[in-house]
């Protein structure tokens, strides 16, 4: 046959000026979302504040200084001091480091566990899926806080332990998200093709399903981090988190609250505000990423 | 259309007139012109077919004529319906016009109807939107309309929900809604593309009858030249947003003047209806097959008495019922049938993706059910697969090179990166893709290129069996032609057997040496293509063949008359 017509390029999709890549479009969409950009700035600020701040504004956060407790903000102590004489601004940096590290690590851990569990359940299907998802349902029915309290009552976890426990109680929601994603991806033609020519299940999951659910995973991670930071604050507020002299924002809030009736606002407002801002910021970033990645319906 | 009607139509004022219509879409990354300076007109009682390949702008023209384009479209020029300029009209004026003077039939009947409302009520709503009639009268008229579009037992059916109807019946309901207010103009955008050929023929008959009865002008948007030949009075051919040729259907389809139209028509696979115009034997049977029917050669894949049942109990669906077929080395078996006939299920059983409820499947002489998973995996290195959807067939996160190399990574793990690259480049040469395509993302390629990448992936291991499930049905005819050409050449060169699933009888007739016709999970008949598709033994195959419209208006007119006569004879026979 001699009459091979070149495929007519589609003006709407493939043709005309070269389409910018998906990743670049996503970045552009994200940057157009003002709240998300504000969230990114807030997170960047707190990271700098907690990790670089102590180098500029160095304070003693290990020894108590009982001669200068509960001082109100002044030139020497910008945010005053707490009940054992620690500089409050320095403590905000010091506690924030713990909050951010634990929150980030626990959020990532939860998403990793949830992703693997959800992908395995969705891909396997049938009774394996049913059993795995009933376990998730059961887990969701038990309040995470309850589990945390029980565990804290039994042992006193260190930093690593806290991350592990938080990660283990909060992977349930992401596992559901990823399972749903896997259910649609596993019947894609490229996965069927791979299975038909004898590709392994591991290859299907690791090479095709997980890379294609990466946007869902990233979005889930940001929300998980926000949740984890809040959860750390809860636990520490109840006095079951990291132990003194180490602290985190939740612990600071808890300590400050005992002095609430004395009018020592500088012990309550700064850590409270920090928690609210960071949690809001991660949620805003998550929203922005979700909208940026969600290209369905845009063709 | 009779001669008097034709002359009346030629003199009447056009009901639709487009004058230098242009549409530009603003997307996130660019401004894309979709329609550039289109002028056409439709007179009462006449059907104008707007044809073209995907992306030619034909649907955009139809939507622009309804004032239904998305917010990112900028329309210039004039689109006049019955004296009103659609481009300049405000929303209130448009709303009064739509559904009354002009109405539209879309491609997908499943999404054109509200799933939660009874069909009678949906039709009555359209009536009451434009005319001051009581609810009871509107309901009565809805029943009348259902009768006119040929829905059996319309009084009862009016209370049905869309999901209780078949695809063809749903499209009839959509048509009933479209003609509810006796519109002067009907715009039909690929009205039969989602339907099986036999249903397509019925819907076209219906539209033709209704248009003739009421003198409605029809703008028919389609890519199918057979549908054009069957239905249209005049044709406008679109290419890259412009009309390149326009004229009476006989002239355009039989004596095309524009080069593009000629190439387009040459690429349309034609169903041969008589021995005389059988396609030139451009494909010699493979050497093994040359000696008779070659039944003595062991088949590459064989299904014996295979049944597949989905679900259990009362909800069980028998997708395959005692299906036996075999594909021998070097030959192509075409598996044809309408949607739901089980042809894809049969292909998936052959691939081992679906385990049969009963019966045996043997691949390269080994019983699939009795091989261990490791051995089965090794057996499968001899299979290549090409599936229908060019978008879903390739993982968008991989480069083309990674996609093609995947079978090598599965079965030839000992290969060095360099050897692997060499093989990928060699197979890309074979499917006539440039080597530098390896670094590109599938999303940057056209549909035809993507299907060739799929083919390259299927052939990189030099398989003994290629299973192709509707490999070209999502492609334009010209692209389809080039993809089929590549498969044919490579089959001659590499000698693989091919199980070719398709709903398109013309394609199968050109491509496959043997054919199996499926219906409702069973094999209706099978045999050499030349015999089975020219002198079918069963009534079903005969009806299937008769329903395929051929892109020649003169021949098609004869075929239509013949088909209707056969149907009428069958009906009176049945009643007697």
Minimal Cβ distance to A11: which of B241, B384, B441 = B241
**Which residue in chain A has the smallest CA separation from B260?**
A5
* List of E strands, B460-502: 465-469, 497-502
**Which residue in chain B has the smallest CA separation from A24?**
B29
User: What pLDDT is stored for residue B242 in this prediction?
Assistant: 92
Q: What is the nearest CA distance from B528 to chain A, expressed in angstroms?
A: 23
Inter-chain touch B448–A22, beta carbons under 8 Å = no
Contact A59, A86 (CB under 8 A): yes
Residue at token pair 């949906």? B122
In this predicted structure, the answer to whether residue A64 has a pLDDT above a threshold of 80 is no
User: What pLDDT is stored for residue B10 in this prediction?
Assistant: 56
Tokens standing for residue B533? 């598709």
B1 pLDDT band, cuts 50/70/90, is very low
Q: What is the nearest CA distance from B253 to chain A, expressed in angstroms?
A: 17
Helical (H) or strand (E) element with B307? strand B301-310
Which pLDDT tens digit goes with each residue over B263-299? 889 888 888 776 555 454 444 444 444 444 445 678 8
Nearest CA among B276, B313, B362 for reference residue B534: B276
Q: What is the nearest CA distance from B380 to chain A, expressed in angstroms?
A: 5
Inter-chain touch A194–B410, beta carbons under 8 Å = yes
In this predicted structure, the answer to whether residue B321 has a pLDDT above a threshold of 60 is yes
Q: Which of residues A213 and B50 earns the better pLDDT score?
A: B50
Helical (H) or strand (E) element with B18? strand B16-26
Task: Tell me the fold of A30-53+80-293.
Answer: MetI-like fold (1.10.3720)
B258 pLDDT band, cuts 50/70/90, is very high
Q: Which residues of chain B make contact with A190, given a CB cutoff of 8 A?
A: 392-395, 403
Domains of chain B, CATH where assigned: 3-116+161-266 (3.40.50.300), 298-537 (3.40.50.300)
Helices B447-459 and A189-196 sit at what angle, rounded to 10 degrees?
A: 20
Bridge partners of B74, per DSSP, are B24
Q: Which residues of chain A make contact with B392, given a CB cutoff of 8 A?
A: 188-190
Which pLDDT tens digit goes with each residue over A75-123? 676 677 776 777 778 888 888 888 888 888 988 999 999 999 999 999 9
Inter-chain touch A5–B479, beta carbons under 8 Å = yes
d(CA B253, CA B553): 8
User: What pLDDT is stored for residue B26 in this prediction?
Assistant: 86
Its pTM stands at 0.77
Which pLDDT tens digit goes with each residue over B37-93? 899 999 998 999 999 888 888 889 999 988 888 888 899 999 999 888 888 888 888
User: What pLDDT is stored for residue A294 in this prediction?
Assistant: 63
Q: Does A155 lie at the interface with B, CB-CB under 8 angstroms?
A: no
Residue from B239, B395, B402 to probe the interface with A (highest A Cβ count within 10 Å): B395
B573 pLDDT band, cuts 50/70/90, is low
Own/partner pairs, B390-393, CB within 8 angstroms, 24+ separation: B390/B447, B390/B448, B390/B450, B390/B451, B390/B454, B390/B474, B390/B475, B391/B447, B391/B450, B392/A188, B392/A189, B392/A190, B393/A189, B393/A190, B393/A193, B393/B450, B393/B451, B393/B454
Inter-chain touch B392–A188, beta carbons under 8 Å = yes
Residue from A198, A211, A215, A296 to probe the interface with B (highest B Cβ count within 10 Å): A198
- For residue B339, the tally of other CB atoms under 10 A from its CB is 12
d(CA B553, CA B273): 14
User: What pLDDT is stored for residue A6 in this prediction?
Assistant: 42
Q: What is the nearest CA distance from A18 to chain B, expressed in angstroms?
A: 9
Q: Which residues of chain B make contact with A203, given a CB cutoff of 8 A?
A: 409-410
């Amino acid at each position: 046959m001699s009459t091979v017509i070149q495929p007519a390029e589609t003006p709407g999709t493939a043709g005309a000026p070269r389409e910018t890549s998906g990743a670049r479009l996503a970045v552009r969409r994200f940057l157009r979302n003002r709240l998300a950009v504000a969230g990114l700035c807030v997170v960047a600020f707190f990271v700098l504040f907690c990790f670089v701040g102590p180098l500029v504004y160095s304070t003693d956060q290990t020894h108590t200084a009982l001669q200068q407790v509960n001082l109100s903000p002044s030139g020497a102590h910008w945010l005053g001091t707490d009940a054992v004489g620690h500089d409050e601004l320095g403590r905000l940096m010091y506690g924030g480091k713990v909050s951010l590290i634990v929150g980030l690590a626990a959020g990532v851990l939860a998403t990793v566990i949830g992703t693997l569990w959800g992908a395995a359940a969705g891909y396997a299907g049938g009774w394996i899926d049913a059993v795995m998802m009933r376990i998730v349902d059961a887990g969701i029915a038990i309040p995470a806080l309850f589990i945390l309290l029980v565990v804290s009552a039994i042992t006193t976890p260190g930093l690593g332990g806290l991350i592990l426990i938080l990660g283990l109680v909060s992977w349930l929601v992401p596992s559901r998200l990823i399972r749903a994603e896997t259910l649609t991806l596993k019947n894609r033609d490229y996965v069927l093709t791979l299975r038909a020519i004898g590709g392994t299940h591991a290859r299907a999951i690791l090479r095709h399903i997980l890379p294609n659910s990466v946007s869902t995973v990233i979005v889930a991670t940001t929300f998980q981090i926000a949740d984890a930071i809040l959860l750390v604050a809860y636990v520490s507020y109840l006095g079951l988190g990291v132990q003194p002299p180490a602290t985190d924002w939740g612990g600071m809030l808890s300590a400050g609250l005992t002095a609430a009736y004395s009018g020592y606002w500088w012990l309550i407002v700064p850590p409270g505000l920090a928690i609210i801002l960071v949690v809001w910021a991660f949620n805003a970033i998550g929203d922005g990423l979700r909208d940026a990645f969600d290209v369905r319906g845009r063709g | 259309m009779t001669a008097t009607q034709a002359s009346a139509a030629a003199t009447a004022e056009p009901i639709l007139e487009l004058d230098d219509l242009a549409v530009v879409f603003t997307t996130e990354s660019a401004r894309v012109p979709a329609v550039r300076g289109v002028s056409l007109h439709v007179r009462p009682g006449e059907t104008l077919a707007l044809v073209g390949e995907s992306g030619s702008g034909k649907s955009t023209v139809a939507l622009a004529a309804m004032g239904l384009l998305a917010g990112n479209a900028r329309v210039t020029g004039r689109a006049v319906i019955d004296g009103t300029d659609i481009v300049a009209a405000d929303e209130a004026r448009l709303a009064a016009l739509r559904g009354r003077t002009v109405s539209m039939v879309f491609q997908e009947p499943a999404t054109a109807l509200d799933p939660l409302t009874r069909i009678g009520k949906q039709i009555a709503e359209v009536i009451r939107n434009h005319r001051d009639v009581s609810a009871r009268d509107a309901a009565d008229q809805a029943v009348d309309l259902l009768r006119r579009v040929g829905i059996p037992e319309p009084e009862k059916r009016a209370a049905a929900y869309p999901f209780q109807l078949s695809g063809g019946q749903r499209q009839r309901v959509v048509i009933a809604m479209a003609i509810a207010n006796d519109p002067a103009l009907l715009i039909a955008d690929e009205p039969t593309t989602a339907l099986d050929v036999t249903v397509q023929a019925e819907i076209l008959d219906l539209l033709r009858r209704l248009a003739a009865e009421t003198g409605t002008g029809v703008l028919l948007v389609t890519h199918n030249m057979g549908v054009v030949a069957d239905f249209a009075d005049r044709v406008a051919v679109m290419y890259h947003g412009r009309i390149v040729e326009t004229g009476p259907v006989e002239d355009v389809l039989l004596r095309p003047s524009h080069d593009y139209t000629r190439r387009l028509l040459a690429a349309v696979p034609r169903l041969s209806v008589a021995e005389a115009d059988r396609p030139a034997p451009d494909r010699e049977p493979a050497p093994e097959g040359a000696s008779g029917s070659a039944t003595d050669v062991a088949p590459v894949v064989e299904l014996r008495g295979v049944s597949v049942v989905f679900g259990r109990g009362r909800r069980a669906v028998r997708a395959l019922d005692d299906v036996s077929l075999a594909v021998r080395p070097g030959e192509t078996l075409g598996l044809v049938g309408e949607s739901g006939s089980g042809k894809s299920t049969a292909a998936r059983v052959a691939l081992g993706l679906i385990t049969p409820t009963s019966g045996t499947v043997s691949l390269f002489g080994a019983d699939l059910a009795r091989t261990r998973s490791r051995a089965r995996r090794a057996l499968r290195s001899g299979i290549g697969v090409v599936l229908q959807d060019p978008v879903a067939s390739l993982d968008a996160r991989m480069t083309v090179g990674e996609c093609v190399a995947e079978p090598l990574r599965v079965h030839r793990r000992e290969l060095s990166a360099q050897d692997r690259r060499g093989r990928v480049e060699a197979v890309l040469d074979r499917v006539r893709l440039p080597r530098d395509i390896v670094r590109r993302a599938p999303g940057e390629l056209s549909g035809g290129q993507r299907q060739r990448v799929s083919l390259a992936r299927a052939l990189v291991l030099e398989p003994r069996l290629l299973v192709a499930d509707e490999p070209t049905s999502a492609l334009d005819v010209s692209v389809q032609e080039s993809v089929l050409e590549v498969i044919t050449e490579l089959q001659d060169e590499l000698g693989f057997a091919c199980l070719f699933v398709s709903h398109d009888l013309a394609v199968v007739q050109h491509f496959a040496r043997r054919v199996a016709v499926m219906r409702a999970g069973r094999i209706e008949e099978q045999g050499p293509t030349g015999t089975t598709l020219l002198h079918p033994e069963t009534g079903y195959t005969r009806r299937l063949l008769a329903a395929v419209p051929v892109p020649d208006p003169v021949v098609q007119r004869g075929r239509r008359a013949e088909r209707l006569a056969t149907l009428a004879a069958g009906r009176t026979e049945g009643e007697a």
